[in-house]
Amino acid sequence: MTGGGTPDEIAALQAGIAVCRLCRDAPARAGDVLPHAPRPVAVLSRTARILIAGQAPGLRVHESGLPFNDASGDRLRLWLDVSREEFYDPSKFAIVPMGFCFPGYDAHGSDLPPRRECAPLWRARVIAAMPQVELVLAIGQYAQAWHLGAAKSASMTETVRDWRRHLGRNERPAVLPLPHPSWRNTGWLKRNPWFEVEVLPELRKRVKTLTD
């Protein structure tokens, strides 16, 4: 297996992300200040061949500092068919959301979108430091927009439904679009049974191949 960035490069990026306070000190939109103390959450790796590209930490993840340490993570691990130990092994999975900090809630009690400051500052550098990644799991519309660009469809549903085309593109790393594993998407999963029938077997096959 070919490694990615040097240990020093990965460590420097990880340390830089950990102390980043851009959304607090220089928000992209005037007055749009993070409503709590920043706590960036990301797991970089120089050996993992799978990158989990999510949206942003939720409150429980913000409190624990552990990505996907919630019900969404339980469902995601079920989709991947991996244990918690395997999931949190940085030699197997890198976990880098579009926004590193919990963005807070909107007026309806839903998580706000990922902060605008993170991706422009960090994402290209992080991806460049992990050239060994062979598969990106693009979870939700924000990660899909960044990793698929113009290939993304107008809706998340259509983007995920078109998963075969995205995987079949002659590009590296391959990108597999997924819905967010949040409990809020339980209705979506019931309305789209093809996801569990068609996508999950392919997802699990690739995860097993890339983590063995």
Q: Which amino acid is at 3?
A: G
Select from 94, 58, 98, 86 the least CA-distant residue to 183. Answer: 58
Q: Are 15 and 141 in contact (CB under 8 A)?
A: no
Q: What is the DSSP letter of 43?
A: B
For residue 160, what are its two tokens? Answer: 């995920």
Q: Find the mean pLDDT for residues 116-120.
A: 95
1 found inside a domain: no
Q: What is the pLDDT of residues 34-43, one digit of tens each?
A: 889 999 999 9
Give me the chain's average pLDDT, please.
Answer: 94
pLDDT category at 109 given cuts 50, 70, 90 is confident
| Residue 179 scores a pLDDT above 90 | yes
Q: Find the mean pLDDT for residues 162-186.
A: 94
What total number of domains does the chain contain? 1
Q: Find the mean pLDDT for residues 90-104.
A: 96
Q: For residues 36, 84, 53 and 169, what is the CA-based torsion angle, rounded to 10 degrees?
A: -170
| Residue 133 scores a pLDDT above 60 | yes
152 found inside a domain: yes
Calculate helix-pair angle for 200-211, 71-80, nearest 10 degrees: 80
pLDDT category at 1 given cuts 50, 70, 90 is very low
pLDDT category at 3 given cuts 50, 70, 90 is low
For residue 169, what are its two tokens? Answer: 């593109």
Q: Find the mean pLDDT for residues 124-140.
A: 97
46 found inside a domain: yes
3-state SS, residue 86: helix
Q: Are 180 and 73 in contact (CB under 8 A)?
A: no
Q: Find the mean pLDDT for residues 88-117.
A: 93
Q: For residues 15, 95, 159 and 83, what is the CA-based torsion angle, rounded to 10 degrees?
A: -170
2 found inside a domain: no
The pLDDT > 90 percentage for the chain reads 83
d(CA 153, CA 156): 7
pLDDT category at 108 given cuts 50, 70, 90 is confident
Q: Are 5 and 129 in contact (CB under 8 A)?
A: yes
pTM: 0.94
177 found inside a domain: yes
Q: Find the mean pLDDT for residues 46-69.
A: 94
77 found inside a domain: yes
Q: Find the mean pLDDT for residues 186-210.
A: 98
d(CA 114, CA 144): 13
d(CA 12, CA 112): 29
39 found inside a domain: yes
Select from 126, 133, 136, 135 the least CA-distant residue to 11. Answer: 126
Domain range for 86: 7-211
The pLDDT > 70 percentage for the chain reads 98
52 found inside a domain: yes
Q: What is the CATH number of the domain that holds 100?
A: 3.40.470.10
**Residue 204 burial (CB count, 10 A):** 14
